[in-house]
Amino acid sequence: MSRWQHWRKRITDIFTFPEGMDEARYRHLKRNIGVLMAMVSIVPLCLMALINFHIYRASLDRELEVPMRGLVNKTKHSFELYLRERLSAVSFIASAYSWDELSKEQTLSRIFHIAKQEFEGLVDFGLIDAEGRQVAYVGPYKLKDKNYAEQPWFHETRIRGSFISDVFLGYRNVPHIVIAVEGHTVSGKIWVLRATINTDRFDELIASMDLDADSDAFLANTKGLLQTRSRLFGEPMTELPFPLPGSSYQASAFHVDAPDGKHYFATATSFVNPDYVLVAMRPVTDLASSWYSLRSDLLMVLVGGAILIWLVAFKLTDILVQRIMDADRSRETAFREIEHTHKLSSIGRLAAGVAHEVNNPLAIINEKAGLMKDLLAREAASPLNERLLKQIEGVLGSVARCRTITHRLLGFARRMDVSIEQLDVNDVLKDVLGFLEKEVVKRSVDLRLELSEASPVIASDRGQLQQVFLNIIGNAFEAIPDGGSITISSRTVEDGVTVAVRDNGCGMSQETLSHIFEPFFTTKKGTGTGLGLSITYGIVRRLGGNIEVWSAVGEGSIFTVHLPWGKPEPQLPHAEQAHISYTSLPWSDQEKKS
């Protein structure tokens, strides 16, 4: 599988929602919904932040560049004016005076001193013949008869007619520039008038830019050699560690990493004559402090917003998927419960019918056995008679046991039809315990009865009360281990009867207690329907009572059912209660009819 196919499958999986009810399906569903919600929310946020980032950055660069451009252009014009004035002065002298006049040092000295008073920065004057030999000189150095034939500025002057040199050391070993102008005699002889200018004025012009202490400005030639001192790159004649932008008379902006480790925003502009480049640099951190502040704020808002969206998306997804999972399980449990209810209903009706049909033959057996017992009692005593009497007693005992069983089955069958009658709550409890006798013995349960001696009689439905007590006592049996203890007590109170079932089982947490009467809530994953206690609660409430629960983890639980005295239902006409005959006649009446 190629990488493209792999990613295509991963993207397709995000939009796929599997069927089924297993845990993997809900994990898949939760992941897909969470990822989709996060993508729909975070991607537009990131795009908007990225676009705003670039728009603001471009705007800020323009705002930074404009004042820097104005500053370097203004200073460049000052430099050019300064140099142009001196070049004009030298050109005027070369035009106004002849070779013969300038070759006289008295005349050249007089002109030099007058010019020096008018033009700041002049160091000396020199007259050079066509061979490059300086024939006349006025100045502080002893440079007369020096030969400049090999100097670059001399050749440039011969070619261009006038020339302003780069900064160099020369014979005097001091940084300076040369302004030279070519002249001609009447006979056509060529000579050069040279003026030397110190660079102190350059530093003054740069200082007039009024930059802050962290900034830098300097003059360089197009080859990258410093013409003035630089705070960052050193003394004049030092080569710059970065290339200058191409020759352009319009200021251009660029970024430079300086030796001090800072990043600088630089603006450069080229001179028309000479080949100088004026560069001004300011730290980006100072210029763009507002930008960095905004960028940090944007980043924090973006990250914080993305985290918040991610958390909300996954929390909502978790709740949504949990609701879907609960709904699926409730639906599945409801289907199971309906099926179970139908099955129980059928079994109950079948058992009631069987019990009803068995009652009559049992009554006949009981009658016949009793008759045989009476007949034998009239005969003379003999070993055979005694043996027969024991057998008859065994038959009567078995019949009595069958009668008890059918009586219980019919009692439960009656719960399908609500029937209010006067009943003893203690008898109902004993009936229910009759179904649990074998489990008590098998599990060695310490079952204690603390029943009221006053025989609490209330008007209620026997079958529904049996179901209530069977559910509560059955839960107590499930909560305790083998050999555990269950105590059932009943007592009469002012407004009814109270029955309490206490066990020393595992107990329940407060979280479980708050949900135990909710339909389909169960702690028996996979085995319980979660309807037993909710049905119990509903029955008790319909009978006018209430139910309370106390429980503690590791200590056990107490279920307390309070039942009102109630009122007996009015007797219905015989025809309307025909269905009650479903319970069959009382045993004594059947015996009489037989």
Instruction: Write out the DSSP string of 73-103.
Output: HHHHHHHHHHHHHHHHHHHHHHHHS-HHHHH
Burial of 477 (0-12, 13-18, 19+ CB in 10 A): middle
**Which tokens belong to 48?**
């908007």
Distance (Å, whole) CA 122 – CA 505:
112
Compute the half-sphere exposure of residue 299: CA atoms within 13 Å on the CB side of its CA: 6
Find, among 258, 262, 200, the residue nearest to 233 by Cα. Answer: 258
**Percent share of the chain, pLDDT over 70:** 86
The residue written with tokens 């191409």 in the block is 246
Provide the pLDDT for residue 18.
66
Which region among 143-147, 217-221, 298-302 has the lowest average model confidence (pLDDT)? 298-302
Find, among 225, 265, 240, 280, the residue nearest to 79 by Cα. Answer: 280
Residues in the chain: 594
Q: Name the residue with higher pLDDT: 312 or 572.
A: 312
**Residue range 466-525, pLDDT digits in tens:** 888 988 998 899 899 999 999 999 999 888 999 999 999 989 988 888 888 876 677 765
Cα–Cα distances in Å, from 162 out to 38, 89, 155, 158? 73, 12, 10, 8
Q: Are strands 546-552 and 556-564 parallel, antiparallel or unpaired?
A: antiparallel
Give the pLDDT band (50/70/90) at residue 408. low
Phi, psi (rounded to 5 degrees) for 480 = -95, 155
Phi, psi (rounded to 5 degrees) for 164 = -115, 120
Query: Does the predicted model carry a pTM greater than 0.75?
Result: no
Of 191-200, 395-404, 417-426, which one has max mean pLDDT? Answer: 191-200
Average pLDDT, the chain: 82
**Mean pLDDT, residues 97-119:** 90
Burial of 308 (0-12, 13-18, 19+ CB in 10 A): exposed
Which region among 29-33, 123-127, 386-390 has the lowest average model confidence (pLDDT)? 29-33
Give the pLDDT band (50/70/90) at residue 592. very low
Percentage helix, strand, coil for the chain under 3-state DSSP, each rounded to 5: 55, 20, 25
Of 27-41, 142-156, 561-575, which one has max mean pLDDT? Answer: 142-156
Q: Name the residue with higher pLDDT: 196 or 334.
A: 196
Peptide bond into 243 cis (omega under 30): no
**Mean pLDDT, residues 563-584:** 51
Q: Are strands 263-270 and 134-138 parallel, antiparallel or unpaired?
A: unpaired
Of 184-193, 447-456, 487-496, 568-577, which one has max mean pLDDT? Answer: 487-496
Provide the pLDDT for residue 411.
60
**Residue range 203-240, pLDDT digits in tens:** 899 999 888 888 899 999 888 999 999 989 988 889 99
Which region among 150-154, 275-279, 417-421 has the lowest average model confidence (pLDDT)? 417-421
**Which tokens belong to 122?**
């002049």
Cα–Cα distances in Å, from 392 out to 358, 369, 370, 420? 20, 6, 8, 39
**Residue range 355-375, pLDDT digits in tens:** 778 888 888 898 888 888 888
Q: Are strands 446-450 and 485-493 parallel, antiparallel or unpaired?
A: parallel
**Percent share of the chain, pLDDT over 90:** 23
**Mean pLDDT, residues 370-381:** 85
Of 314-323, 480-489, 572-581, which one has max mean pLDDT? Answer: 480-489
- Confidence check: pLDDT of 339 > 80: no
Which region among 68-82, 264-278, 408-422, 433-447 has the lowest average model confidence (pLDDT)? 408-422
Provide the pLDDT for residue 55.
84
Provide the pLDDT for residue 510.
87
Contact 465, 536 (CB under 8 A): no
- Confidence check: pLDDT of 527 > 70: no
Question: Which amino acid appears at position 198 of this protein?
Answer: N
Provide the pLDDT for residue 462.
83
Provide the pLDDT for residue 184.
87
Distance (Å, whole) CA 552 – CA 510:
8
